[in-house]
Structures are given as C-alpha cells and as structure tokens.
C-alpha cells in the first residue's frame, strides 16, 4: 500500500523548469528606464510552445522572472437588450426613447422586423427621460438592400457616450410596429489589436467561389478572418464560409477523416447615395471562435460570388488577438524567453494575481528564435506503469487467469466432495 501511494505521489508531482530542458529561446533587451515592460508574443512562439503557452518561462541570468500574459482584446460584456419607450408616430416620423445602461457605450443595434428599406435615424441624448435638455449625437443610415445583394445593416456607430437616455427619430418607410427594440454592449476602454497568423492574395476560382487555403501549426490561435478588398467591385456583399480541418499524420485504415468545423459570416462594402440617403458601411472581418487544436489545421476561406464578378481581395488574413508578455524589468539587463518543454504546467505567480497594467508600459521586441544551446532531452521520469502499459495489462490478465484457475479448482473440489457424500 505504501509503495502504491509513493508511485501515485511521484506520478502527479509537477516537474520543475530547468533552462537545459527548453528547446527554444528568444532574447529580450531592456533599455535604461526599466519598469513595467511588455513584449508581443508572435505566432511562431505558439507553434513551438505547449498549449496555452504553459511552458513559457522568463529568465534573467538564470533566475526565473515572474510575468503575466496580457490580451489586447478588451473584456467583453454581455449584450444588453433594451425595450423601446414611448414608441409612436410624430409628424410622420417614427420616434421612441431608450433607457441606457449606466456605463459607456458606442455601437447600438436596432431590432427592425421590416425588410427592403432605407431610412435615416437621428439620435439625441439626455440624462432624463423627458429629454430636456437634449444633445444631438448624429444621423445614421440603416438599410436592407438584400434584394440588390448588398446586405443589411441596422447598426448605429455612435461616438462613445454615457447618456442615460437616447431619443430616436426615424425618417423613412419604417413604422413604429417595425421597431422591436435595441441592443448595446458596454464600450471597451481600448480597441483590440491583432497579429497576422497567415495571409494570402492568391485565391482559386471554383464554382462561382473564391477559395483561399492556409496551413496553421498546432496550438496557434486564430480569432478572426479579415479581408482587404481591392478597388473593384466598389459595392459588394458576399457570404463567406470558413472550414477548419485538423490534419492527422497517420490516420488508421478504420478511422474516418476528421470532419471540418465550419463557420459562416458576411463581408460587405457599401458606399453610395440612394434615394437621398448616404450609405457608408464596411464589414470586412468575421470573428471565429475556433478552439486551439492539438495538430496542424487546414483553413479554407470560401467567398461565395454567386453570379457576380469574382471578388479578388488584395489579402485574406487569419489573425489572432495580440498577446503580450509583461513583467517588471530591471534597467539595462538581458532577459530571455524559453519554451519547448511539454512536461511543464502553467506557472502561478503572485505577480500575475496582483498585476496592474500601466497605460504606457515600455515596449520591447523579442529577438529571433533560436535553439537553446544548452538543450538536453528531459529524462523520462514517468512511473514504470506509464512507461510500459502493455506489461501492466499483461500482469492484470495473468492475475485474472490465475484467479479464474483457482476458482475453477475450488469448484471441482466442491463437486467431488459432494459426490462422495452421496
């Protein structure tokens, strides 16, 4: 029993990081000022590190330095749905009010049940429901041009605001019964930044579609797909499908090919004046909630051109939210980031728990990746049973067979004794 307990203890004990067991390293040079310092982590690090960067370590002259990984993406809040107040008709205009959340907000989405329309929405803000006094925010065009294959947009791109009440006045064919509500998200403090994972301008035309293919290494995150359109066509609305298929090195004869995960979206560009309304709308990115994959993956981005001229973008890019490694640096010191030891688990530092991001940390750029000159293969410290699972199964089978033989002999003896008594 004691031996088994010791084996279990050693099997679950976390291994300690040592510089010699990291396969890769990248230098970081800190300037004279020191202080809170951040370095962007590029996709190549993810490709050679453990999932979620669990094996990433920072050293300064052989001493491990605590760090935290910061995402450039702002914290997203749940979308809040708001019912319209005082909805009605006033002098031929559809009007209503909305009580807004006690926070900063920016984009507002109108829930409109109507189709095939162009309308102008004038928005004002105030701190009271009565709207006195009001501050004019601006006028915005909403449209449904689906029949013209130019899509639909009911978003109002407001400047950052914190009015407790918004007041809407709609000029156009939209009636009060067409307005079912609005939705809003809290405005983030900063806009997200993205790093390019892969890019291509060489699409293949196939069956009224433009196809762009990419290979993404294992563990590399992809958070969105972005299209950079060319000058023509000036107006477009195209449906886009994104297929992600994990690549299996040696699939067995009996296993079925992995089915790709498919995401869908739409990209559009509309800059025109129609029926006296100026329409300026671009939506050129599609968020992709793709999970991290343990193997390389083939990404196929398909733009459905229908019967229109093929869309030939200057670039289609797979992008990841920018991640930065931040730490408190000592001035004029040399640091190095090490990774490539899959035996490690993610570190836990007080520094990360107590970290407060500065508005302008010192930015440093990591040097080129190189193989660690001191690298050694980590010895296999797994328990004997994990190293040789076949022997464990053989032993179990032998024990079962032995117990079965003993049980059979006991049964025969009991039968013979019973026959002698009779």
30: pLDDT strictly greater than 70: yes
Q: How confident is the model at residue 383 (pLDDT cuts 50, 70, 90)?
A: low
43-47, 149-153, 300-304, 332-336: the lowest-pLDDT one: 149-153
148 with 226, same domain: the answer is: no
Residue 295 belongs to domain with CATH number: 2.60.120
The pLDDT assigned to 73 comes to 67
How far apart are alpha carbons 313 and 365 in whole angstroms?
Answer: 31
pLDDT at 360: 87
The DSSP result for 310-372, as a single string, is: PP--SEEEEEEE-EEEEEEEPTT-EEEEEE--TT------HHHHH----SSPEEE-----EE-
Query: Of 64-78, 98-112, 136-150, 198-212, which gets the smallest average pLDDT?
Result: 64-78
Q: Of 163, 186, 209, which residue constitutes the final position of a domain?
A: 186
Four-residue CA torsion sign, 292, 293, 294, 296: negative
Q: What is the mean pLDDT of residues 338-344?
A: 95
Determine the average pLDDT of the residues in 4-26. 70
Percent of the chain with pLDDT over 70: 86
277 pLDDT above the threshold of 50? yes
Domain annotation covers residue 125: yes
**What pLDDT does 109 receive?**
94
Residue that is last in its domain, among 186, 208, 231: 186
Mean pLDDT along residues 210-219: 95
Round to whole Å and give the CA distance between 106 and 139: 14
- Report the pLDDT value the prediction gives residue 170, as an integer from 0 to 100: 96
pLDDT band at 90 (very low <50, low <70, confident <90, very high): very high
Q: Which residues pair with 24 in a beta bridge?
A: 339, 371
Q: Which two tokens stand for residue 84?
A: 């319209």
Identify the pLDDT of residue 10: 41
Residue-level pLDDT at 255? 55
Average pLDDT of the residues in 210-230: 94
Determine contact, residues 292/267, Cβ cutoff 8 Å. Answer: no
Which residue, 129, 155, 186, sits at the end of a domain? 186
Statement to judge: residues 295 and 262 lie in one domain: yes
pLDDT digits (tens, 9 = 90+) for 105-118: 888 999 999 999 99
In a domain, 6, yes or no: no
- Asked if 199 and 311 sit in the same domain, the reply is yes
* Domain-located, residue 5: no
Q: Inform me whether the pLDDT recorded for 381 exceeds 80.
A: no
Q: 39 in a domain, yes or no? A: yes
Q: Specify whether 102 is located in the same domain as 204.
A: no
Nearest 5°: CA angle at 105, between 39 and 355?
30
Q: Please tell me the least confidently modeled range out of 24-38, 128-142, 318-332, 391-405.
A: 391-405
Structural domain contains residue 236 = yes
Q: What percent of the chain has pLDDT over 90?
A: 58
Same-domain status, 181 and 226: no
Starting from the edge strand earliest in sequence, which strands make up the sheet with 285-287, in order?
Answer: 194-200, 315-321, 224-228, 285-287
pLDDT of residue 248 exceeding 80: no
Our CA dihedral for 393, 399, 402, 407, rounded to 10 degrees, sits at -120
Q: Please state, in angstroms and as integers, the Cα–Cα distance from residue 194 to each residue in 40, 115, 185, 300, following that order.
A: 11, 35, 21, 20
Query: What pLDDT score was predicted for residue 211?
Result: 95
Q: How many C-alpha atoms does 324 have within 13 Å on its Cβ side? A: 20
Cα–Cα distance for residue pair 352/327, rounded to 1 Å: 9
| Full DSSP string of 224-255 | EEEEE--SSSSSEEEEEEEEEEEPPSS--SSS
Give CA–CA dist 43/394, Å, rounded.
44
Q: What is the mean pLDDT of the chain?
A: 86
**Residue 207 within a domain:** yes
- Considering the domain architecture, whether residues 98 and 204 belong to the same structural domain is answered as no
Determine phi and psi for 73, rounding to 5 degrees. -75, 130
Examine the domain organization and report whether 164 and 260 are in the same domain: no
Predicted confidence at residue 189, as pLDDT, reads 56
The domain in which residue 176 lies consists of 80-186
Is 243 a residue whose pLDDT tops 60? yes
Residue 78 binned pLDDT confidence (cut-offs 50, 70, 90):
low
Strand 204-206 vs strand 68-71: parallel, antiparallel, or unpaired? Answer: unpaired
Same domain, 232 and 297: yes
**CA–CA separation, 19 and 57 (whole Å):** 9
Tens of pLDDT, residue by residue over 117-176, are: 999 999 999 988 877 788 999 999 999 998 888 889 999 988 888 899 999 999 999 999
The torsion angles phi and psi of 405, rounded to 5 degrees, stand at -65, -40
Tell me how far apart the alpha carbons of residues 39 and 365 are, in angstroms, rounded to a whole number.
6
pTM of the entire predicted model: 0.72
Pairing, β 35-41 against β 165-171:
unpaired
Would you say residue 419 has pLDDT above 60? no
> Is residue 121 assigned to a domain?
yes
Whether residue 252 has pLDDT greater than 60: no
Contact 371, 16 (CB under 8 A): no
**How far is CA 409 from its chain centroid?**
63
Are residues 97 and 86 in contact, defined by beta-carbon separation less than 8 angstroms?
Answer: yes
d(C-alpha 115, C-alpha 146), whole Å:
8
Q: What is the mean pLDDT of residues 370-398?
A: 76
Co-location of 365 and 350 in the same domain = yes
Let me know whether 42 and 106 are in one domain: no
> Which of 257, 378, 242 is closest to 300 using CA atoms?
242
Residues near 183 by Cβ (< 8 Å), separated by ≥ 6? 79, 80, 81, 82, 108, 109, 111
CB 125 within 8 A of CB 104: no
Do 272 and 310 lie in one domain? The reply is yes
Per-residue pLDDT, 315: 95
Q: Give the number of domains in the chain.
A: 4
Q: How confident is the model at residue 12 (pLDDT cuts 50, 70, 90)?
A: very low
Distance from C-alpha of 148 to C-alpha of 369, rounded to nearest angstrom:
51
pLDDT at 330 over 50: yes
> Which is more confident, 413 or 175?
175
pLDDT at 1 (0 to 100): 42
Flag whether 145 is in a domain.
yes
What is the pLDDT confidence band of residue 7, given thresholds at 50, 70 and 90? very low
DSSP 63: E
Coil, helix or strand at residue 178: helix
pLDDT at 305 over 70: yes
Q: Of 98, 51, 110, give the one whose Cα is nearest residue 342.
A: 51
Structure tokens at 342: 């899959």
What integer pLDDT is reported at residue 110 of this predicted model?
A: 96
Same domain, 98 and 139: yes
Count of C-beta atoms within a 10 Å radius of residue 120: 17
31, pLDDT greater than 80: no
Any idea what the CATH number is for the domain that residue 90 is in? 2.60.120.260
Instruction: Find the length of the chain.
Output: 422
User: pLDDT value at position 19?
Assistant: 94
Q: Is the pLDDT of residue 4 over 50?
A: no
């Amino acid at each position: 029993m004691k031996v088994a307990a010791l084996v279990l203890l050693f099997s679950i004990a976390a291994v300690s990081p040592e510089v010699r067991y990291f396969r890769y390293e990248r230098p970081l040079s800190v300037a004279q000022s020191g202080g809170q310092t951040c370095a962007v982590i590029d996709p190549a690090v993810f490709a050679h590190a453990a999932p979620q960067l669990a094996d990433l370590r920072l050293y300064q002259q052989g001493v491990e330095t605590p760090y935290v990984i910061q995402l450039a993406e702002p914290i997203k809040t749940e979308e809040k749905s708001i019912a319209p107040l005082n909805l009605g008709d006033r002098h031929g205009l559809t009007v209503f009010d909305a009580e807004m959340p006690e926070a900063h907000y920016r984009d507002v989405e109108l829930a409109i049940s109507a189709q095939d329309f162009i309308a102008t929405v004038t928005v004002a803000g105030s701190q009271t429901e009565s709207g006195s006094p009001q501050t004019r925010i601006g006028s915005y065009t909403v449209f449904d041009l689906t029949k013209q294959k130019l899509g639909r947009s009911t978003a109002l791109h407001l400047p950052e605001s914190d009015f407790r009440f918004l007041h809407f006045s709609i000029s156009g064919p939209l009636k009060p019964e067409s307005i079912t509500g609005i939705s809003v998200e809290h405005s983030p403090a900063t806009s997200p930044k993205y790093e390019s994972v892969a890019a291509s301008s060489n699409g293949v035309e196939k069956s009224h579609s433009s196809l762009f293919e990419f290979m993404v290494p294992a563990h590399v995150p992809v958070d969105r797909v972005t299209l950079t359109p060319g000058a023509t066509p000036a107006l477009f609305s195209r449906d886009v499908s994104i297929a992600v298929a994990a690549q299996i090195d040696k699939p067995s004869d009996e296993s079925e090919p992995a089915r790709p995960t498919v995401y869908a979206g739409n990209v559009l560009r509309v800059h025109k004046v129609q029926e006296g309304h100026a329409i300026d709308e671009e939506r050129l990115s599609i968020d992709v909630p793709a999970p991290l994959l343990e193997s390389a993956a083939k990404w196929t981005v398909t733009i459905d051109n229908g019967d229109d001229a093929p869309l030939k973008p200057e670039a289609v890019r797979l992008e990841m939210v920018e991640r930065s490694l931040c730490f408190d640096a000592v001035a004029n010191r040399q640091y190095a980031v090490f990774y490539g030891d899959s035996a490690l688990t993610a570190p836990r530092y007080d520094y990360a728990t107590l970290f407060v991001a500065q508005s302008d940390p010192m930015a440093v750029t990591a040097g080129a990746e190189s193989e660690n000159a001191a690298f050694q293969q980590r010895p296999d410290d797994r328990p004997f049973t994990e190293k040789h699972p076949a022997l464990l199964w053989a032993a179990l089978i032998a024990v079962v067979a032995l117990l079965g033989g003993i049980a059979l002999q006991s049964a025969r003896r009991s039968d013979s004794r019973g026959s002698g008594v009779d």
